[in-house]
Structure formats: structure tokens, C-alpha cells
């Protein structure tokens, strides 16, 4: 565009498709104000994926969008079951679409390979729900040792004397080995809380050793290069790693068989697909797994009936993230990523596929 009366032209505002969960952060923040000042915002309201695809086609209302911003709690609201960034919709993404910003520490809900092939940058929101999820993990770890869920069930159903069976089987986690799988932001926070609050010994399996973490814990931490090695010594395994094809069903029958005559506890605050639930249930029947705490499940929102009916397990509805603090963090990082991508420094954007586009 040419200058007018010596004044440089104002670039057109990028158009962003806003997919907003009804559960999100405060709407009167500087980030939200900046979003509406700098972008043309189209509010997403598709009832189905097919409708979304139709609107993406040439001439459709979404055919010239430059970005998609999906923020708030992905598990709540009318779009909770809509997979927008993988499968059929990706085929219809217009050439104008250059950036997607989406809530979450993980990114398994997006087909990163397909997006990268189209030259679309994808950003998640790391370290935005670390404290809430780590606190949830601490709750689940303690419950696998003390069976408070079973105790509450007895209390609420007037089975006071039945609760006396808990005493002989409950033990304290102090001195026990917690095996953390995945030392990202959340895994590190879990290790720190368990070491200081519960006096547990920390072992971990990660792609690389974390000497920085080891130095910060009261008794250090022990690195295991394989999950098998960790399973051989851990009293409680806590999963805090991403779900990928390589990690799917990482807690499997063969791995649990290594427990042999020992007893172990399993906690999962990451993704349900990390555990083969049939294998887990078999190990519980054999007395090898004696405590289970799950915030995530293999077939969400469904819960395995055998787990649901067992009050020796603690089951949550994927709610570890659920905190107003989290919603504000999600929105802040998402909108800041969007702003930096189009108007600032792209090196500051938390891109998942930075090296592939």
C-alpha cells in the first residue's frame, strides 16, 4: 500500500477465529483488550466438524482467517468433543491460515505433522497449569497410600466399622520411592512437592538426566534411562509425560509383570492412553498394584466400570487443571503468543513445531 499525504499505511488487521470455552479467564484483562484492538475477531459457533469444514471452504466465512485461537478449558462447553486441529478439518485449512494458538501443556489433540506440512505454526501453553496439576498429583499419591477415598465412601454410607479395614493396609509414603515419568514443568513440581511434603525419595525416567532438578531436592534424585529400570525400584509411579505413539500404553502387562511379588501404586495426571487399563486391572486383581489414583482415563468422558466401582482407587474427572488461576494463565499465554506471532518477536512464541515450518 502507498503512503497517503506522507503517512504510512496501516496494515490490515489479521483475522482470528476465536474458539472460546465458556470456562475461561477474566475477560477484562489487558490481553483481551489488546486482542480486540489488534485483530478482527470471528467467534466460532459451529455445531459440528462438518459445519466447520464447510465454512473453511473457498468463499466461506472462515476461508480467509489468518489464525485460530482456542482458549479456556478444552474439556468444557459445546465444543469440548470437537477435534479441530486433526483429521478432516486440516484438509480444508485455507492458505491464509498461518498460526494456531491452543490451550494445554500437551499437544496430542493436534496433528503436528499435518499442520507443519501446510506451514501452519502451532503453539501450546506450557507451564500454565503446573501448580494445580502438581497439587492434584500430590493428592492422588497420598490417597494411594492412605485410601482416603475408601474411608470417605464408608463414612458417607454409614459403614463406620468397615473403615477399620483400612488401618492394616494403609502406610505412609515417607521414605517410599516415587518414580516420576516425564520431567517437564509438571513432573518437576510433583517431584519437589512429594520430596518436601511427603518425604519421598525421588527417582525419575526422562529423555535426559536433570542434574538441575537433582540438586534442588533434599536428597537429590536418581535418573533411570529406561522405564523398566524405574519400575524395578519404584514404590509409586506417577505419569507426567506427553501421550505419543511411543508412550501409548507405556504401563502395560509386560511392564507390570516386573513387579512380581512386590506391590506398587500408579498415579496418572497426564493422559489416559498412557495406561493399558486392562493390564492395570489384571495387576490389581493379582495384588501387584495396591493403589491407583487417576485424573485421566482411557475413554474419557467414560470411566472403566471396574475402576469406578472400586473405592480403593481415587478417580477424578480430568479436573487437575481446573483452577481460575489456570484459566487466566491459559488466556494470557495464548493471546500473548498470537500477538507476538503477528506483531512482535516470534522467538518468544511457545511454538511446538518451530523447527518444521
- Annotated catalytic residues are 271, 300, 318
Q: What is the rounded distance in angstroms from the CA atom of residue 71 to the CA atom of residue 65?
A: 17
Q: Which of 274, 271, 191, 273 is nearest to 234 (CA)?
A: 191
Q: Are strands 15-20 and 40-43 parallel, antiparallel or unpaired?
A: parallel
Q: What is the rounded distance in angstroms from the CA atom of residue 313 to the CA atom of residue 83?
A: 30
- The answer to whether 338 and 35 are in contact (CB under 8 A) is yes
Buried b / exposed e along 127-139 (16+ C-beta atoms within 10 A)? ebbbbbbbbbbbb
Q: What is the rounded distance in angstroms from the CA atom of residue 91 to the CA atom of residue 83?
A: 13
- The answer to whether 145 and 122 are in contact (CB under 8 A) is no
Residues belonging to the chain: 357
Amino acid at each position: 500500500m502507498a503512503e497517503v499525504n506522507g503517512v504510512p499505511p496501516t496494515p490490515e488487521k489479521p483475522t482470528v477465529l476465536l474458539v472460546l470455552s465458556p470456562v475461561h479467564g477474566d475477560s477484562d484483562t489487558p490481553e483481551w483488550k489488546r486482542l480486540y484492538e489488534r485483530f478482527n475477531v470471528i467467534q466460532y459457533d459451529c455445531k459440528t466438524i462438518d459445519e466447520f469444514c464447510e465454512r473453511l471452504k473457498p468463499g466461506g466465512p472462515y476461508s480467509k482467517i489468518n489464525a485460530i485461537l482456542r482458549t479456556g478449558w478444552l474439556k468444557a462447553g459445546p465444543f469440548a468433543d470437537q477435534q479441530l486441529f486433526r483429521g478432516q478439518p486440516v484438509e480444508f485449512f485455507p492458505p491464509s491460515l498461518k498460526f494456531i494458538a491452543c490451550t494445554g501443556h500437551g499437544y496430542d489433540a493436534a496433528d503436528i505433522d499435518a499442520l507443519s506440512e501446510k506451514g501452519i505454526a502451532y503453539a501450546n501453553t506450557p507451564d500454565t497449569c503446573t501448580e494445580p496439576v502438581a497439587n492434584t498429583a500430590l493428592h492422588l499419591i497420598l490417597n494411594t497410600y492412605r485410601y482416603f477415598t475408601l474411608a470417605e465412601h464408608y463414612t458417607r454410607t454409614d459403614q463406620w466399622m468397615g473403615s477399620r479395614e483400612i488401618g492394616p493396609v494403609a502406610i505412609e509414603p515417607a521414605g517410599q520411592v516415587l518414580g516420576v515419568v516425564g520431567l517437564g514443568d509438571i513432573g518437576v513440581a510433583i517431584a519437589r512437592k512429594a520430596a518436601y511434603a511427603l518425604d519421598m525419595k525421588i527417582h525419575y525416567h526422562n529423555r535426559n538426566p536433570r542434574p538441575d532438578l537433582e540438586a534442588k531436592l533434599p536428597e537429590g534424585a536418581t535418573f533411570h534411562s529406561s522405564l523398566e529400570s524405574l519400575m524395578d525400584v519404584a514404590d509409586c509411579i506417577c505419569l507426567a509425560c506427553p501421550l505419543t505413539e511411543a508412550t501409548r500404553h507405556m504401563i502395560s502387562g509386560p511392564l507390570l509383570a516386573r513387579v512380581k511379588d512386590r506391590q506398587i501404586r500408579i498415579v496418572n495426571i497426564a493422559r489416559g492412553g498412557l495406561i493399558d487399563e486392562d493390564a492395570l486391572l489384571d495387576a490389581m486383581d493379582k495384588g501387584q498394584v495396591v493403589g491407583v489414583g487417576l485424573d485421566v482415563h482411557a475413554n474419557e468422558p467414560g470411566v472403566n466400570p471396574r475402576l469406578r466401582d472400586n473405592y480403593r482407587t481415587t478417580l477424578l474427572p480430568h479436573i487437575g487443571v481446573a483452577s481460575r488461576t489456570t484459566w487466566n494463565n491459559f488466556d494470557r499465554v495464548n493471546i500473548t503468543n498470537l500477538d507476538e506471532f503477528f506483531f512482535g518477536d516470534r522467538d518468544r512464541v511457545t511454538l511446538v513445531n518451530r523447527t518444521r515450518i
